[in-house]
Structures are given as C-alpha cells and as structure tokens.
Amino acid sequence: MLPLVEYGKEFCQKLTQIKLSRIVIMVFIILILTPLFTHFYLSNIERSSNHITHNAHSHIDLPEDLNAMKEPDLRIGVEELIRIKGSVLSELRDMERKRQKLLLEIQSYTKNIEELKQELVHQQTNLNRLKISVEQAEVAQREALQQNTPDLALPKRLTADEIPPILPSLPPSQIKFCRMFSCFDHSRCSLTSGFPVYLYDPDQFPVMNDGWDVDGFLKTTLKQTLGYNPHLTNNPKEACVFVVLVGEALKDVDDVSENVGNHLNLPPLDSNALKQLPYWGGDGRNHVLLNLARRDLTAVSGDVFSSVDTGKAILVQSTFSSQVFRPGFDLIVSPVLGPPGGDVWQECPQMLPARRKYLLTFQGEVKSNNNRTPNPSHGDDADLDREHAELDKFVIEHLKDLAKTNTADKFLFEFECVPASDDNVNIGPQDWALCGTDSSRRTVLRDSTFVLIFAPTFPDLVTTTLLQARIYEALRCGAIPVILGGDQIQLAYDEVIQWRRVAIFLPRARITELHFLLRAIPDEDVLLMRRQGRLVWERYLASVQSTLDTIVAVLRDRLNIPPIPIDTVAAISVFNETFQPIQVTVPVETEQEESLGPLEPPYNSPAFRRNYSLGLTQGHEMWNDWGDPFRLYPALPTDPLLPSDAKFMGSGRGFRPIGQGQGGAGKEFSEALGGNSPREQFTVLLLTYEREQVLLDSIARLRGLPYLNSVVIVWNSPRPPSAELRWPDIGAPVHVVKAARNSLNNRFLPLDNLQTEAILSVDDDAHLRHDEILFGFRVWREHRERIVGFPGRYHAWDINTQNSWLYNSNYSCELSMVLTGAAFLHRHYLHLYWKWLPQAIRDKVDEYMNCEDIAMNFLVSHITRLPPVKVTSRWTFRCPGCPQSLSEDDTHFQERHKCINFFSQVFGYTPLLNTQYRADSILFKTRIPHDKQKCFKFI
C-alpha cells in the first residue's frame, strides 16, 4: 500500500511540472506569433505603396508620347521593370516559405498541446485508479486486522492409528436394535479422516460355508472398481469401515441353474468365519457386509443374514424383511446388473417424445411360494397373506378391464408368462416372477410412458431384489415406475435419494384411480420425472462402479464427513530453469480514458469454505440435483447469497458496496464491484496453437485491466515457445502451461493454478476492449451458474428433414448458445467437463477438432436448465493478418451440425434452451447491417 501512496505523490509532482511546461509553451507561441503578424502588416503596407507608385509612374512620369522615347531608353525601362518584378516575386516566395514554415510550427505546437491534454487526462485517470486502489488496499488491510480467524481450507487429515480392540460380542437379542449411535465406533472416523475404507480380500478371507463361493465376477470387479474409489486404503489401522464381500453365493459358479434356490434352506454365510476376520474386534463394529445380487433375479441370494450372527456389522443387500432390516443402520441397494463402469448412455433410449406408444405396461406373473416363512410378529400370518392375495386378484381383474375400455390410451398387461426360459420357474421370497427375456422386456419398456411395478405381496418384506431390479430396468429405459403398494416398501438409498421425484407411489387400494392419475400428469412433468430417473440411474445404479461409490458415499454422508476434494490437473510450465521468458513493456493501443476499477494485486477466490456445512444445508441438492456427493469442490455456482443487509450488520467482510452502500453512478460505480457477492477477480484462460505473435498481441491488450487475477495460457503446440519471443509485462501473472497433447478439450482443463471462480475463456485472436470485458464480468456475477459471453449462436430445426438440428451463426433475435471463444463461466464446470461429461463427447471433439464450445453449452444447460446470457452487440471476432482459423474450413459447419445431433443422442434429449434476453449496457449503440432489421425496430 505504501508504494502506491508514494507513487501517487510522485505523480502529483509530475502533474505540476506538466502545468508549468504548458505555460512556457504558451509564452513561446505568443513570442512567435507577434513578429509574424507584424511582418504580415508591414508587407501589406509595402504592397500598397508599390501599387501607388506604379499608378503614379503610369500616369505622371511616363511621357505623353511614347513614340518620342528612344529605343535604348525604352529597353532600359522595361528591363528595370522586369528586374523589379523578379525581385518582388523572389521576396514573395521567401515570405510564402516563411509563412508555410510558421504554419507547420503552429500545427506542431497545436498537436503537442492536444497530446499534452490527452496525457493530462490519461494521467488524471491513472491517478484516480491509484486513489481507488489505495482505498481498496486500506479496506483490505483493515479487514485483515479485524479478522480473528483465518479462512477455512482443507484440514489436516486425522485418522486412527491402531486396529480395533477386541470387545465382547453383542447378544443376539440386541442385534436388531443396532443404530449408528449404539453400534458404530465414531472414534475411528473423525471429520478430517477422509473416511478411509478397507476391503478384505475375498480370496484371502472367505466367509462362506464349505462348498460355497462368492461369484468370481463380483470378486474381481469389486476389487477393481473399489480400487478407483479415493476412499480405499490398504492400511487397516487407519480404516474407518471394513468391507466384507458376502454374495452372490454359488456352489458351482459354472452351473448357476443347479444352485438356484438351494441357499433358501442352508444359509451360505459362515458366522464363525466372520468372527475370525482379523479386524472383527469381537463384535463386528464398523464392518460392512455386502450381499450384492447379480445373476438371477427370481432366485437371488435373498436375505442371507436372517439366521446369522452378524454382530454390529452394517448389512447391505437388496432383499430385507422387517425382522432383519434396521432403519438408518442397514442399507438397501440395487442389484448389480450393469457393466463394471464407463459410459452407459448407450443403454438409454431418447427421452422424447414424452408420450410413448403405451400409457402403462406390466409383464409378470404371480406364483405361489412354498418356501414362505411366516412372520411371528404378524400373528395369524396366513390370514394376512390371504387378504393380500385377494386384493392382488382384484387389482389384476381391474387392470384387465381397464385394457378393454374404450379409450385412446393403450395398455399392455401380461399376467401369465410363457415358460420359455428358466427365469420364471423358481422364485425367492418374492411372489412376482419376471416374464420374458431382458431384451424383450427392454423393448416393451422403451415403448412405455409408465410401467406398473407391484410391491411384494408379503407385508413383512421391506424390499426385494426383484422389486429393485424392475425399478432399475424401468429407469434405464425411461419408463416412469408406478409402484403399486409403494406405501409398504423402501427403495435403494432412500435416505438420500428423493424417489418421489422419480416414481409414483400408489397404495393397492387406490388402483381404481390409477388411470385418472396418469392422465392428469402433463408432458412437462412426465419429462421432468424421466430426466430425474435417468440422473438417478446413471449416477447411482448403472454400473458396478457407481453402485460401490454410492454405498461408500451414503455411509460417509451418515457421519457428516465431507467428500475428498476433486482432483485438479497439474499446470506444468513450458519454461524451465534454462529457458525463462523475457518480459518487456509493449506499447499497445490506448484504451478509452475511463476509470473502470481499481488496480489490485492478485486476490484468489476463497476455496473450500463450506467443507462441513454443505452437506448439512444442501445435502438433498447434492444427491438429487446436479451437485456431486462423491467429491468436494472449492466452490459451487449455486452457493447461497447473504441478505442485502447482512453486509452492513456483522457479515461485511469482503463486500465492496457501491458508494459504501448509498449507491451511485459513474464515479461511485467504477470504484467498487457492488452486487450480492464479496469482492473477487477473474482469470483469463487462453488456448493457443502456433500463432505466437497473435497471442502476444492479445496478452498485451490486457495490460492495466482491473480485476484481472492472472492469465493462464494452454500451449497446445508440441513445439515450445521460441526463445526469441518478448512476452508483454501486463502487471499480472502470466502462466504458460504445457498441454499433454493437441486437443480442443484442453480449453477446459481444471488446472491447479486457476485460483478464481470466474474464468474468462478466450481465443488467442479475440479482441475485446477493457470496458467490454468488465461489463461481461459484472453481468456474470449476476448469473454465476450460466455461461455469459459475447458471440451468440443458436440451434435451428432442420425443416427439410424434420428430425435433426442445424448449427446456425446468422443474425438472430433468439439464441441458445454463447461460444466459449469469449465467455465467462464458473470454474466448477471445468471439473464437470472432465469428470461428469461422457467420454464419447470428448472423443467426438478430438475426432473433429471442433465443437468443444457446443459441448460446454450442452453441459451447462443440461445442469441448470437455463439458457446462456449474451452481452453487448459483438457477434463475430476478426483478426486481420491472422493465420487461417479452424472456423474458416469448409467442413467446419457440417461438423458442428453433426456435433449437435450426436450430443443430443448422448444426453437423451437436446438440453439447449432458446432465449430472447440479452444484457446490454445503457446507451450501448447496436450496429446492425443494412440488410438486417433490429429485433425490436424502434428500441
């Protein structure tokens, strides 16, 4: 701060010297002009006297008879006159040369005066900027002195350092009363532990009875997929929980049908083997027993824990009876039916149209179950089962009558299965069997708007694998589940997933209202539920990887332990110790004389401030909207805002209200950011490839830009920068990062040196004025969750084919995209581009070397369901003398047409939304070509 004050005093002294020099120049001009005007006046008098003399000589001195004069005298007189004329002309030429010289001197002095005036204004603007900077620095210093505690950042990891001690086992009668507060050792799971998870090797520590073994696919896949989970640890001393793989259990892995249903008479789990696990600790606390079903949905491993002493271990499976299930302690999961991991979008059909061929479908058959074990807690269990069976018969008869009614709605009900496979021969604890094969059921579900799913007839069943499998299949195909008897069951991960946004829960007794209810749901809500269902399926159910990640995340969420921070990409500089850039001050075009804001040192956006409060206040949004329950991010674009008066009543640290809260325009506006968020800066993220001089010119234009934190350049070229380059010194850090390979996806690398939430993504040839950049920055601060930028584009329906989209860059009053060649976006979306966006989209970008900006627009609109915001009137960016860009290739637009349609297939729909809104500064002059008309003709 002190150097800024000294610089301000020095500048005032220079300003005083400039004023003295201006006075000296004026005196000098007066001394020159006075002799000039005197000479001009005397010259006029001399001409007048010559004119009078000439007239007198003409009429008085000449003889009356010229013929009387002799020829020599006449010749002499003429020669004298010619001599006089030449002398006068020569004198006039000299005077003209002097006059021209004086005029040039006057012009030079006038130019110098104007330059000095401009310099005075420029220096006055710089002085104002320095005054603002000094004031802002003083405010920041006062805030730092008043601060009692430092900013929260990622805490130091604190874990346990010993294996669980042996404690007495829990009496069997107390097992069913286990809850997290009574049967879980929280001392091994501190808030800063990171929730380390230890996996028992299934081959090294088998827990099955003799002759049984865990499915080999599950063993191999679980070890591989859990290895990708950031919570996995190989050190049992620091582990918070210990995972044991229990099922799916088979006697002979190669012959599945031979073992179907055998486990119902003999539980495959060995209680003694559990107690002999090295870290069981006598009572099994902090152990998680995974019973994952995969192969057979009608004869699954069932509730294998019903007659086994599992101690204080948490049970995880897809079939539970009310006798065994402990709410808030045990965990219901979906069966593992998908691939190990990777992109799963190919499994899903398109979300449109909203109304499909069938309004409602069902495929299944009721079968009697001789293995039914009555629940003693229900008294006369047989009578209760009989009542439910009678109700199911009424339901079936009603549905059959519904299919015969005279209505435009189509129904498909199959209550009798064709015995074409072994799927429907033996059943487990549930009494509904699947009909048909997986492919035949998938075909029907893809044509179904809603699909009917029956809850188990036996009321003591909380959930069954078949029920969870039916929901899995429905969500995969985009059919909205209608769960009949939904008031008696629980679904997978229901402590964190809001299933009512995905499925319809209907009591059996309200079957007669089903048709009316389905008809009352509009297309908007149908698509909203279908989209939410696909979100839940892709994120939590689709693959083995997602299932295991979800199990770990739910258990961690119970303990309010924050996730592990998201990974960043190391920013490796293209320079090294022997190759350092040469920085020079490069003169650039003078920016318009306008004070746009203070010149501050780099100020990083606060990060990880909501480490422990995010899950408490926005836990449901993390799990059910477009947050991420698996990783922790430095900041989110949806972080909450304080009320307006909080910044003046106890929570004002970091805020810079305009006019200190009184408001204002012009001067007051330029002195502070204002708005609803604390002060911040932005980072320029620039992608370049073999256009060195164009790049340097673009960097130089950023000199003196307020609120600029740093410039990060992604060097996409395989060749390093030339050692001869002179890098412009712009008053802010410039980082040149080496890319691993040439890819347009590198535009959105989540580099570890991006220290601000606001990212200005620009092309290396984009030419934006300072006022345009700062106007865009201020607008983005009001729309932090959107893309805010300059070049607008839109997707247009192909009226010729009627089944595809076209990319359009023509002038339009309606937009749907803002290109990231000059746009602000939140840093959070860079992480999502690489972590959440399907790999197929990034591969398509590499294939075409195109469309990365379209992909980012798809991603942001998909997450927010909001269109971008276009600012000012800039539509195109031209760079005279630049090498040919990719957008000038003949195939550029054809590739972008294909990109939009391919991305729509991956997302299942087109998330881009049209907007007629544009943010323009007041009095901004819009320039429209002569052959175009403004969106509003007289505005």
- What is the full DSSP assignment across 225-281? HHHTSTTB-S-TTS-SEEEEEEESEES-TT-SGGGTTGGGTS--B-HHHHHTSTT-T
Please, what is the end-to-end C-alpha distance for the chain in angstroms?
46
Contact in structure between 313 and 287 (CB atoms under 8 Å) = yes
Q: Per-residue pLDDT tens for 333-386? A: 999 988 888 889 999 999 999 999 999 999 988 765 544 554 544 445 556 566
Number of structural domains in the chain: 4
Distance of CA 328 to the CA centre of its chain: 33
**CA atoms lying within 13 Å on the CB side of residue 562:** 22
Looking at the structure, tell me whether residues 350 and 476 fall in a common domain. Answer: yes
Q: What mean pLDDT comes out for the span 887-901?
A: 85
Q: Are residues 850 and 793 in the same domain?
A: yes
Identify the CATH number of the domain in which residue 411 sits: 3.40.50
In a domain, 338, yes or no: no
Most confident of 584-593, 785-794, 870-879, 925-934: 785-794
Average pLDDT over residues 140-160: 70
**Could you say which of 513, 542, 571 is where a domain stops?**
542
437 and 313 assigned to the same domain:
no
Q: What is the pTM of this model?
A: 0.83
Q: For residue 473, tell me if it sits in a domain.
A: yes
**276 and 193 share a domain?**
yes
Q: Is 239 part of a structural domain of the chain?
A: yes
pLDDT tens-digit series, residues 372-421:
554 544 445 556 566 667 788 889 999 999 999 888 999 999 988 875 44
Supply the range of the domain harboring residue 315: 172-332
CB 776 within 8 A of CB 824: yes
Q: pLDDT higher for 244 or 47?
A: 244
Same domain, 793 and 745: yes
pLDDT at 23 (0 to 100): 59
Q: Tell me the C-alpha distance between 776 and 920, whole Å.
A: 9
Same domain, 205 and 84: no
**Looking at the domain assignment, is residue 108 inside a domain?**
yes
- 851 and 733 belong to one structural domain: yes
Mean pLDDT, the chain, integer = 84
Residue 605 has pLDDT above 60, yes or no: yes
Q: Residue 895 to residues 660, 845, 889: CA-CA distances in angstroms?
A: 51, 10, 10
Q: Judge if 286 and 176 occupy the same domain.
A: yes
- What single-letter DSSP state applies at residue 751? B
Last residue of a domain, one of 518, 542, 566: 542
Structural domain contains residue 445: yes
Residue 592 sits in the same domain as residue 715: yes
In a domain, 359, yes or no: yes
Q: How far apart are CA 495 and CA 490, in angstroms?
A: 10
Please indicate, yes or no, if residue 569 is contained in any of the structural domains: no
Q: Which two tokens stand for residue 125?
A: 């603007």
137 and 193 belong to one structural domain: no
586 plus 500 within the same structural domain: no
pLDDT at 580: 79
Q: Is residue 391 part of a domain?
A: yes
Contact 681/707 with Cβ under 8 angstroms? yes
The residue among 69 and 89 whose pLDDT is bigger is: 89
Residues 843 and 868 grouped into a single domain: yes
pLDDT recorded at residue 60: 42
Q: Give the residue from 492, 521, 542 where a domain finishes.
A: 542
438-446 average pLDDT score = 93
Q: Which segment of 32-41, 122-131, 169-178 scores lowest on mean pLDDT? A: 32-41
Catalytic residues: 853
